[in-house]
Structure 1
C-alpha cells in the first residue's frame, strides 16, 4: 500500500477489525449495536460512497467480511437487542443481499493479507459465504410465504365480499317486501279514513237538516203559543156561532116538522158536530212535532255507534 493513501489505511483497519471480531464475540456484538460504527460500515458497502477503483473493491470486500463475521457471532434469537435477522434486514434494505454476497465472496483480504488457502481465515470466509447463501434461501422462502399469504388474504377478502354482497341483496329484498306491506297498510288506512270522513259529512248534513226542522218547529210552536191568548175570544165567537146554528136548526125543525124525524135528523146533524178550524191546526202541529221528536231520538241513538 502507498504511504498516506486513505483507502490502504482503511483496508488495514477493516482487516484488523475482522480478525478482532472473529476471535471475540463481545466485540462483534458491540460493533453491531453501535449507533455510530454500524451505519458507517453499511455506508462503505454502498457503491456511491466507496471508491470505484481497485481499492474500493478491497474496501467493500473487507467491510462485507467484517459484517459477515458479526452475523456469525450475533445470537439468532428474535428477542435479542440486535439479532442476525435484524442485521440482515438492515443490510438488505441499505445494500441488497446480492451485492453484499458478491462483496463478501471477493475475499480480498485472503489474497493480499498473507493468508493461504488452508488458513483459518479462509475457512471463516467460506463459512460466511455459506451462511449468506443460506440466508438468501431463507429470504426466498420468506418471500414465497409472503406471496402465498397475500394470495390467501385476497381469496379470503373476495369470499367475505361475496358473503356481504349476498347479505346485502337479502336485506334489500326484505326491505322491499316491508315497504310493499307498509304501502298496502297506508292505502287501506287512507281508504278507511276517507270512508269515515264521508260518513261524518253525511251525519253532519243530517244533523244540520234536523236542526233546521227543529228550528222551524220551534218557530211554529212559538207562533202557536202566541195565538193562545186569542183562543177564549175565538171560543166565545164559536160558541155564539154554535148557538145561532142551534137556533137555526130548531127553526128548521119547526118548519119541517111534518117530515120524518130520521130524515130531518140526518139533514140537520152536521150542524152541531162540525169541528172548528183552530182545533184542526193544533192537532196537525202536534202530530208533526211528535214525528220529528221520534226521528231525532233515532238519529241520536244511531249516530255515536257509527262514528
Structure 2
C-alpha cells in the first residue's frame, strides 16, 4: 500500500516504473493461465453449489433472504455471479481501449508498452472466460443500464493519465476482494472458484501496474488537474460499482424483483461488505490526494467509504 505522504511516494514511483513493468513481464511469463484448458467447461453445472459466497449476495442479511429456500439462495448467487462477470466484461473492454490509447505510437521496445500489451492480452482471455462462465451458470448476458453504457463510451474515449489507470484500479480492487473470498469457499461451484483464482492471480499484476502509472502521472499533475480527475474517478467508481449486479437477476432467480430490489438497496450488510472491500483502495487514493470533498460524496453514495 502506498505511503501516507503523497508527494515523495509519487516522485519515487516515477523513477521505478520501467523496472516494475519488467518485473511484471517476468512474472507473467512465469505464472499465467489459459482458461480454455484450466477451467472445467465440460462437467455439467451442479446446482447444489452457490455461484458466489452467500455473504456477498445483495440480499444476504435481509428478511427476504431468510424466507428463501436453499435452492433459491443458490440460484440467486449464481445469477449475481454471472451479472458481476458480465459487468467485468463490459469494463474490461473499456480498459483495453484506455490502455491501447495510452501506448499508441509509443516506443514498443519500452517495458511499459510491452507490459500494457500483455495486460490487454490477459483481459481478452478474461472476457472470454467470464462469458463462458456466465453461460455455464445458466444466466443471460446481463448488461449495464443504457446510461452506464453511454457514460462508459464517453469515459473510454476521453479519459487519460491517472484517471484511466485509477478507474482500472477501482474496478479490479473491488472484484479482487470478493473473488478472493469466492475462490476459497467450498460452497461455490468448483469451475467458478477456478475462474476467480485465475482472475485474482493475473489481476494482481494489473493492479500493481495501475498504481505505478497513477503515481507516475500524478507526479506532473497540477492542483486543477488533480481535483478534476479526483471527481472523474469517483464518478467512474460509482457507475462501475452500481452496475455490478443487474436488477434483472432477481426475476431470473424466480424472486419478486420489486421487493428484492428494495431490500437490496437498504441492505446494510452488503453496504458494509463493499466498504470493507474498498478500505485499501481508499487509503491509496487518499495517499494520492484524490479524496476531495466532491469525490467523497460519490464514494459515500456508492457505499465505498
Task: Report the TM-score, using the length of structure 1 for normalisation.
Answer: 0.24
Q: Which has the larger helix fraction?
A: 1
Task: Report the TM-score, using the length of structure 2 for normalisation.
Answer: 0.24
**Radius of gyration: which is bigger?**
1
Asked which structure has the greater RCO (Cα within 8 Å, sep 6+), the reply is 2
